[in-house]
Amino acid sequence: MYKMLEEMRILDLTRLLPGGYATQILADLGADVLKVEDPWQGDYLRWMKPHLPGTQDGAYYWTLNRNKKSVILNLKTVEGREDFLKLLREYDIVVEGFRPGVMEKLGLGYQVLQRANPTTILCSISGYGQDGPYRLRSGHDLNYLALAGALSLNGARGGPPVPPAVQVADIGGGGLMAVIAILTAHIARARTGLGQHVDVSMLDGVVSWMAMVYAQLASAGGGLKRGEGPLSGGDICYAVYETADGRYMSLAALEPKFWQAFCTAVERPDLIEKQFTRDPAARREVEKIFRARTQAEWVSFVGNLDICCEPVLEPGETAEHPQVKARKLFLAFEHPGGGSVTVPGRPLKFQGEKEYPDSAPPGFGEQTGEILSRLRLEEESASPGENKPGR
């Protein structure tokens, strides 16, 4: 981890992917992230399948919660709410992923948080945002992609829409947008001294990620078809091709110089002028070219060529790729029950900044005793006439 955000202290009320991903990025940068978990089940990812081998621990939980702490509070009780508000003396950023209105029902709406600490930043991550006719509607990643128009374009031409393997709405539309929003509010607070309520919608985020698609739509003057966009397999220079052994190569020779270099390397100069063609005959020729070699042979062939052509790897192969190893993109943690757990590591690198050891995800309520004892001591040492948060 990097200790660049040591002054940032976050109460994390989220229990699924978007908030977990957002707060993990901030924790990786040094923020003090305290997971506030309910006493009956805590973060859903703790027990959700798939489990780590030989355990009942959710694999997703271990992937999204390094460098954090955990406290158990029952926010449905007066005592739990009061303890939460006391924590705002130290932790002045709150991240929650409930449906709109739930924080108010708990008695912890933004106005209440502001009374406890006027500088509080509340980041609310939801599917559809804090207003609009869908504000209370349930949903998941696939639903947000569907409404944004992204799902309709995912898949092969002539086939059905295909759910993506990566949760684009959760991670991109929710998690990354929340990181940007929190950092922006944090910078603004340093200038103004004021907190604010940040509204992050996963649907909004996905729509914003489709800028290139909507640019194509505007220029095409009509509907876009699945598998036929210039960046989704429509052009022969930017597509995925099967190899002799039934595996695949990705060709992204978008600039003319790369396409020309590819055609020259495979001794097919006649295809140079066909770069952006939709001619089925030209596509069949490129398909035939790729089926002439196995994937391993293609990797060797393109090794020193500058043509934007890479193998389509399985996830298990990625960790062994030399570039991935060089960038140290995976971390291994010791599991309390024995063995180790390997997870994707930090995607951000800061040259000249010192790196510190990462800590494994916290156990359920691991820091509860320590934190509540400190709150009780602070309460006892406060002067009798001092106003108490939330009272």
Q: Are 11 and 89 in contact (CB under 8 A)?
A: no
Distance CA 8, CA 182 (A): 10
Distance CA 17, CA 364 (A): 17
Distance CA 302, CA 361 (A): 41
Catalytic residue among 51, 140, 321, 335: 140
Report residue 263 as tokens.
Answer: 């055609």
Q: Are 248 and 240 in contact (CB under 8 A)?
A: yes
Q: Is 197 a catalytic residue?
A: no
Pairing between strand 9-12 and 68-72?
unpaired
Three-state secondary structure call for residue 168: helix
Q: Are 299 and 311 in contact (CB under 8 A)?
A: yes
Distance CA 183, CA 31 (A): 11
Catalytic residue among 170, 186, 197, 235: 170
Q: State yes or no: cis peptide before 322, omega within 30 of 0.
A: no
Positions annotated as catalytic residues are 140, 170
